[in-house]
Structure 1
Amino acid sequence: MCSDRKEKLTVRRLLSNITFVLKYAMKLDKWLVVLVFSAFTICGLVYALFDSLFLKMFIEILSDTNKNLRESLIFVLIGMIFVEIGEIVQLLTDNYARARFVKIAGSIQADFIKKAADIDLICYDQNKYFDDFVIAASQAEEMIINGVMSTARIIGTMTTILALGALIMTINPLIAIFPVAGFFINMITRFQITKLEYEYEIVRKKVMRKADYSKRVFYQPEYAKEIKLSNIEIPLRKQFEAAIDEITDEARIAGRKIAILSLINWIVVFTMFSFFFVPMYLGYLALVKMSIGLSDAAAMNNAQGEVRNNLDGLNYALVDFQKVGQFAERFRRFIEYEIKIEKAAGSKKIPEEKAVLEIKNMFFRYDGADKDTLRNISMAIKPGERVAIVGENGAGKTTFIKLLMRLYDVTSGSICYGGEDIRNFATEEYRNIFGTVFQDYQLYGISLADNVKMDCANEQDRTIIEKALEKADFTEKLNRLPKGIDTEMTREFNEEGTMLSGGEAQKVAISRMFAKTNQMSIAILDEPSSALDPFAEHTLTKNMMECAKDAAVIFISHRLSTTRDADRIYMFENGEIIEEGTHDELMKLDGKYKRMFEKQAHYYKNSIL
């Protein structure tokens, strides 16, 4: 599903990635791209060309008394005006572009958030996805901007080089050999350096994920108590230090190679070709052979210097070009990932009446796994039924629930609702039939109302939200919140926000199901009251069952006290259903369920459930 392609890219793919980046930038701000390209091309050409011609004119004015001084000065003055206009245009363009790029950066991150929200859940189970996402997210803004700027520089410098080359060719074509030779040597070494830098950066990003995690837990409040009351700081610090040591070793290896290549590049390209061969050769032509004048020699030296500078700039632009192409591969892979589940439109309508959910000979295997996680699962769940899914950790219960909600697609077999394969429904519409409360719920740093609605709550929702919180036994806490249901569920951004205890947070999570009563056909409860005391658990379980009285209820349970009132119980082990029946039937069967129940019996013999 999520791509796992190799990092090695062909030149064709690199150029294709650059084209993708430019099209993406054009989509975000077409006129900014056109402006940057035009400014780099025109301003670079005017500045470089007139710079060389000025020097020639000045020397001729000083050395030739017969030359028309007035005409020469007018020419120089006009040229200076053009150069100044070019500088002003470049300055204004830079300032304007900087402001516009801030907007582009925001648009890129907005696209990332939307794509990350839509990406299929299966991708989150693959390490490759996280590598792509982390690197793409951290580099996206810089990569898009550099893609535009480096392409503009390449076009601008190429135009300037061609113009200066034409000027050099009119006087002595041999001069052009030196900067061109230096350019190719510089390009080869810079490309090797860029390759080393890129390879190091990929390793660094991957290792830094572990270092960042180790560092992050020290300033997140949910970890603070355990860190202070234990020695967990020691292994976390060691993990952080090990990651830093690994990065340091990689930097040392890459740095040594880069330093050697840079030194060779400097000695050969800049010292020999730029500051030695060209001035010596021009001096020989002007002073010994006298085949060119001093003004031509000065102009040629300046022109070849400009060519060298532009070729050097072209080299760096090409290096940026290469970097953009490489990093764009991950960005492109992420953006172009074909969403198979989350955006499925479906051709069938969800039945208006509550219907049977039927699982037929279902198998599921994770990508890259060598065996099935779930095998030959079959059951039918009718409206109003209470179904318990039990089993030890790793038995496949959570994967089963994800498949029911079409967070994953089955490998073979089918899941049908109302007799129709769920893959024929629009995913969003299908999921709306579920009310879910997971054990590993999350609260978000937004208002309590939005946390309950799990959407943007409006004025019409307030009564529903407050009643849902009341059913979840949260009213007492709600009355103490400074802004009621508008209180933010964090103090990170606002001192009037709040931090909830584990039990309080779980009640908020449970209230989400109460807020969805009218839409709900199937309730899924994954140990929703594990953080509550027995009395609160009893009250909430009773409320949840009343709320879902006409709906099918599927609950995952480790505490088998909650399974006794289930209409049917399915015992999972190693991805298969090994036992099914009512509580009494399974106790008579004298199998795995009975052993688990009796093992836990002393915890709930006198349970109020």
Structure 2
Amino acid sequence: MSNRKSSLSNILYILKLVFQANPFHIFIEIGIAIFARVFNVFFFIYMIKYIYTIVEKNLPFKNVVVMVTLGSLGHITLHIISAVHNYYYVYKTEPKIFGHIYGMVIDKAAEVELKKYDEPDFYDSYTRALEETKTRTNDVIRNISNILGNIAAAISTLLIIVSIDPYVIVFSIIPLFNMFYLGKKRNKLYYDMDMESTYHNRRTEYVKRVFYENKYAKELKITNIKSVLLDHHQESFQKIISITKKYLKKIIGISLIDEFIMQILVHTGAALYITYKITVLGLIALGDYVALLSAVNSLTYDIYSFFNNLMNFNKQSLYIENIRSFLEYEPEIKYDSPECIPISSFGRLEIKDVSFSYNDADKPVLQNINIVINRGEKIALVGHNGAGKTTLIKLITRLYQASSGAIKLNGIDINKFNKDYTKMFATVFQDFKIFALTVAENVLMDKVENDDDRRSVQKALSQADAKSLLTNAQKGVDTQVTKEFDETGIVFSGGQQQKLALSRVYARESQIVILDEPSSALDPIAEREMYDRMMDVSDGKTVILISHRLASTQSADKIFVLEEGEIIEQGDHETLMAQGGKY
């Protein structure tokens, strides 16, 4: 979604997000890491050297007691700090940081224009951003803390080595080759493996979701679609295994070379050199010998870890790029730019020479649409499936951006209005969704904050002839819909769900009512009653209706017949019937 940024730029970007969520978190993590690493140097090198020196020189035993006591107190303190950090602070703080960044991703997803949801690449980008929000944030902070801890520990260790034998430092520098070449190559392989697996991971997750979501249960029981889904799952699973094998062969090869250099050239070489100095040349004391062995291992670890963490920044940057590019994506449809103006009352909506096509489509979905809708008019859009009716509604409500032409409200291009523009509409789409929330939340499509809200819900249900939905509701309008999170929840039939969705129109104070096949799950009598009530309640409001049934279009002031994305007929019911055309 954007040009690739530098590793440093991406790291600073994610740190800025963490700082926004909790300004102190980064400093606390760094402080604990530095204290832990420096103390380990003191405990395992300085103290051990001191004890061996006391034994070698036959100094008073009380010196050992004092040193061990101080070391033990420090060790206990470190463990207490670590325990508080790991079992209290982390559990309290990380969800807040994760929630902040996750919320930004969700907010951005809500801003992205609807047509992006029809693009597989968008879903891959969205999935990566969601998956990596938590892990990459923690990894970056851990890396920075480790790097500064490594530096502090390395300085402490170097003071010992330089004071005894500075040449030993050479053995600790060897891992730099691993980091600059092997580490970077390995990180890139891990990233490429993850990116290549994204599509197949998403596919397997989809199949798993189908098998546990209630809405798919009937088809799974009475058809053989299960075997098709399992085949797709198995195919993607095998692809993931194949991709993993392809990359792991190279990763294992690099890791073996890395281990050989570390174990043979570094640890063994350093041990032989230091042992030669004490046994053959007799140039160092026993305490210095033990300290040097520990110091070389410690310094090697810190140098190795330091550069490994630097290389990890490169790896993490690649993943952070997924989050950043998603969050920095600029939607085509903007509601919050400084140029946006507040909405005024609805007077006239003009659709002028509007065409629309998807990015990869050869043929436009809509072309040269011209419609004028005045305040209070009842408009019907009719036509076969795929004629472009719902697409036109999405253009009017700014879910889609017109490819050409203009839609104007009161003479002003709708793209110039702020978010309040969408509040003008009370819309029920044919593929409406019912959420695993309370009845009241499903009706208001907003938070239920007080009893006035609940009374509004009761009124809307009554107007939609949906009061019967609460017959078995143990908690009234606060009863959960579906049993996904509550065993006392209500499971509605298709017709009941449609009535629940229609009640949203009554609950919303809007100037324009849009109904996209609102009665497809209702019987003819219920449909007639629904339209009569809708027309009574929407008196004075503008209504845009999509339907295949003549019974629902007869009372419309204007009817537009669409075919293959074009308006081929228009007029009222009597006029179109008299013409004997497609209508």
Query: How does the TM-score come out when normalised to structure 2?
Result: 0.92
- 2:45–2:295 contact (8 Å) kept in structure 1: yes
> Of the candidates 482, 497, 521, which is equivalent to residue 531 of structure 1?
521
Deviation at 1:304, TM superposition (A): 0.6
Paired with 1:477 and 1:368, the residues of 2 have a C-alpha distance of 44
> Of the candidates 53, 58, 80, which is equivalent to residue 51 of structure 2?
58
Structure-2 change in CA distance of 1:447 and 1:552 (3 Å):
same
CA shift digits 1:397-426 (9 cap, x unpaired): 222111111122333322111222222322
Match of residue 308 from structure 1: 300
Match of residue 491 from structure 1: 483
Match of residue 437 from structure 2: 446
- 1:179–1:308 contact (8 Å) kept in structure 2: yes
Stretch deviating more after TM superposition (177-186 or 84-93): 84-93
Deviation at 1:308, TM superposition (A): 1.7
> Within the alignment, does 1:437 sit opposite 2:428 as a pair?
yes
Structure-2 change in CA distance of 1:582 and 1:246 (3 Å):
same
CA RMSD for the aligned pairs? 2.6
Match of residue 290 from structure 1: 282
CA shift digits 1:255-279 (9 cap, x unpaired): 22222222221122223321x1111
- 1:389–1:557 contact (8 Å) kept in structure 2: yes
- 1:118–1:343 contact (8 Å) kept in structure 2: no
> Within the alignment, does 1:230 sit opposite 2:220 as a pair?
no
Paired with 1:326 and 1:426, the residues of 2 have a C-alpha distance of 35
Deviation at 1:550, TM superposition (A): 1.4
Paired with 1:58 and 1:462, the residues of 2 have a C-alpha distance of 75
Deviation at 1:368, TM superposition (A): 5.1
> Of the candidates 569, 575, 579, which is equivalent to residue 565 of structure 2?
575
Match of residue 163 from structure 2: 170
Output aligned runs, 1:508-527, within 5 Å: 508-516=500-508, 519-527=509-517
CA shift digits 1:515-546 (9 cap, x unpaired): 22xx3322211100000111111110111122
Q: Aligned letter for 2:447? A: C
- 2:382–2:560 contact (8 Å) kept in structure 1: yes
Deviation at 1:584, TM superposition (A): 4.3
Paired with 1:266 and 1:422, the residues of 2 have a C-alpha distance of 63
SS at match of 1:456: coil
Paired with 1:84 and 1:482, the residues of 2 have a C-alpha distance of 55
- 1:438–1:526 contact (8 Å) kept in structure 2: yes
Structure-2 change in CA distance of 1:79 and 1:488 (3 Å):
closer
Deviation at 1:173, TM superposition (A): 2.6
Paired with 1:24 and 1:361, the residues of 2 have a C-alpha distance of 44
Stretch deviating more after TM superposition (103-112 or 532-541): 103-112
- 1:360–1:414 contact (8 Å) kept in structure 2: yes
Match of residue 144 from structure 1: 137
Q: Aligned letter for 1:450? A: E
> Within the alignment, does 1:214 sit opposite 2:204 as a pair?
no
User: Matched residues, percent identical?
Assistant: 33
Match of residue 281 from structure 1: 273
Paired with 1:589 and 1:166, the residues of 2 have a C-alpha distance of 99
Structure-2 change in CA distance of 1:233 and 1:311 (3 Å):
same
SS at match of 1:493: coil
Paired with 1:22 and 1:499, the residues of 2 have a C-alpha distance of 45
- 1:36–1:97 contact (8 Å) kept in structure 2: no
Deviation at 1:85, TM superposition (A): 3.6
> Of the candidates 374, 392, 399, which is equivalent to residue 366 of structure 2?
374
Stretch deviating more after TM superposition (222-231 or 495-504): 222-231
CA shift digits 1:65-90 (9 cap, x unpaired): 4x677667656654554455444434
Gaps of 5+ in 2: none
Output aligned runs, 1:4-15, within 5 Å: 5=2, 9=4, 13-15=6-8
Structure-2 change in CA distance of 1:92 and 1:472 (3 Å):
closer
Q: Aligned letter for 2:56? A: S
Deviation at 1:223, TM superposition (A): 1.6
Paired with 1:183 and 1:125, the residues of 2 have a C-alpha distance of 47
Paired with 2:203 and 2:182, the residues of 1 have a C-alpha distance of 33
SS at match of 1:480: coil
Paired with 2:129 and 2:342, the residues of 1 have a C-alpha distance of 37
> Within the alignment, does 1:196 sit opposite 2:189 as a pair?
yes
Deviation at 1:435, TM superposition (A): 1.8
Match of residue 336 from structure 1: 328
> Of the candidates 544, 548, 553, which is equivalent to residue 563 of structure 1?
553
Stretch deviating more after TM superposition (69-78 or 478-487): 69-78
> Of the candidates 341, 353, 361, which is equivalent to residue 361 of structure 1?
353
SS at match of 2:568: strand
Q: Aligned letter for 1:255? A: L
Q: Aligned letter for 1:546? A: D
Number of equivalent positions: 580
SS at match of 1:163: helix
Deviation at 1:567, TM superposition (A): 2.5
Q: Aligned letter for 1:307? A: L
Stretch deviating more after TM superposition (299-308 or 311-320): 311-320
Deviation at 1:377, TM superposition (A): 1.9
SS at match of 1:289: coil
Match of residue 101 from structure 1: 94
Match of residue 553 from structure 1: 543
Paired with 1:210 and 1:40, the residues of 2 have a C-alpha distance of 40
Deviation at 1:448, TM superposition (A): 0.8
Structure-2 change in CA distance of 1:260 and 1:64 (3 Å):
same
Match of residue 379 from structure 2: 387
Paired with 1:120 and 1:343, the residues of 2 have a C-alpha distance of 14
Deviation at 1:375, TM superposition (A): 2.5
Match of residue 415 from structure 1: 407
- 2:350–2:407 contact (8 Å) kept in structure 1: yes
Paired with 1:76 and 1:461, the residues of 2 have a C-alpha distance of 68
CA shift digits 1:148-188 (9 cap, x unpaired): 11110111112211332243233333211212112432553
Q: Aligned letter for 2:288? A: D
Paired with 1:467 and 1:68, the residues of 2 have a C-alpha distance of 90
CA shift digits 1:30-67 (9 cap, x unpaired): 222211111111331232145322233233223234x6
Deviation at 1:392, TM superposition (A): 2.7
